[in-house]
Structure 1
Amino acid sequence: MAWRPEHPITLPDGRLVCSPHGLVICGYCTVDYSFMDELLADDDDDDDAETSDYSDSTDDDTDNSNGDMISLGTELRVGTGRVFPTKFNPPNPNDTPNSLFPLGRSESASPPVDRFIRRNGENDQFLVYTDGACLDNGGQNPRAGCCFVYGHHGRYTSFPLEKKGPTGIEDPQTSNRAELRAVIAATRFRYWLGEGCRCLVIATDSEYVVEGMTKWAKGWMRNDWRTRMGAPVKNKDLWQCLLGEVERWDERGMRVQFWRIPREWNTEADQHAKVAANEDAPQRFGDILGVLV
């Protein structure tokens, strides 16, 4: 079994550090908790963002300052704030992905496919595990990889994080970017509706991804993608891209939900993401499309 870092320690000021070394960014533990600096600054605005309805649209020409989204498959889009995903809440606190989403067969696909499908008659809910990792995170030679797992027996996709994001601008290799990129890839991998999926549950151990998508992004958008202190939100291009995917699927009749799971439940995706981090990173952001998988 792959080595996993300990759970983080919360300091008195609310910041997170790794347990073995007390570092915010630790290359050995492959963790990056620097996002908490932004979140702590934004915390005063969280309640207002959570209870208010966001109705203004994001103008692609003005808000997407890094350029147009680039894609080789279905056109990428910038999220407007019309739809935000929700958290998946298991009916029982003891429920696990394995107990709620065992491997099942979708006969709606042609040919039929094996997926993690919700039991107890709710067979229109599918689950995909995602993870991202970065070797030498915060160091001189960071290398990031991504993975999502959609079934047993080798049904996973892993890849190194591209050097350039969806807007064509080069960005640093970090674990946070890799985690976001893995989710984007998972949502674009298949035409999930064609398999009978009406709700895609993203299972990840990343608080950054889950809280960012379901809570913090509302406040960021209200503040023109800046923190309460006026600093630009990191990884804005990927946040916008992922919000755009959520909106695209919602328009077609499929919801996207996020389930934050313990690290020990996400070992397969983590292992493959770390292997992918050692591969040569491509320059350009591109799609990975699943065919007959």
Structure 2
Amino acid sequence: MRFGIVILPQHDWPEAARYWRGAEELGFDHAWTYDHLAWRGLAGERWHATVPTLTAAATVTERIGLGTFVASPNFRHPVPFAKELATVDDIAGGRMLLGIGSGGTGFDAFVLGQPELTPRQRHERFVEFTEALDVLLRFEPAGAGGISFEGAWYTADEARMVGEPARHPRMPLHVAALGPRGLAFAARVADGWITTGSTFEDRGDWWKQVGELSRRFEEACERQGRDPASLDRTLSLDAEGRYSLESAGAFEDAVGRARELGFTDVVAHWPRPEGIYAGNESVLEEVASRFGALREPA
């Protein structure tokens, strides 16, 4: 089991550096930030941009994976985004993790004057966006004059990327998916699957549903001729309905449940002083001290 932490992009630099350094010092395997222009009840609060935040984080860390949780096509085009990602990955020495999803229907979906899309349109746009990133992040073929494609949503005419990627064939692609079409797509193209599950009032119902999703993802992989064990499976613990870091015991319980359901990675949120994900950093430190007991034996 690997452990991740989400650091919301609310802190000014260099104060924010404490959190990214702290995630590495505490032993987390990966650290992520949200890729939103604004987010839910925090829309009126301070909120920094994703790519510059990860770039700065790359300069103050050495080991920890750095990722988007999760990027979407709501306000992005794959060509400039791929170049930004490749640049961050170069600065980070090949530590970028691209978490990507179809995009919600909140602020980000309409801030640029976008029309409302049907679920099918959102999925089709997501597939095209992701497939374009998959190609772009692998760099141009030898002797090619750039990367070109033309689809229903995105077009590129001899796009140029940074150069050979820091990792081959490209940085890991972690697809967030929930429904049948999304799970099938993740099983086909992803290096890993991310899920938060759906919202349930009862925690038991949430865990039951997450278990069913994990089973359906395994089936989707098998239909694609892929071994489910070859893909990472990441669960956002804080979607359960209680904050996973409200106590070390709550976190350990959630990790144990996730492991039983076949997840390879779990992600929690760095404690905030108040509001959503409110908690005490002492719990985070206690959890970190238990990592040896929480991990699978070598």
When normalised by structure 2's length, the TM-score is: 0.26
RCO comparison, higher one (Cα < 8 Å, 6+): 1
When normalised by structure 1's length, the TM-score is: 0.26
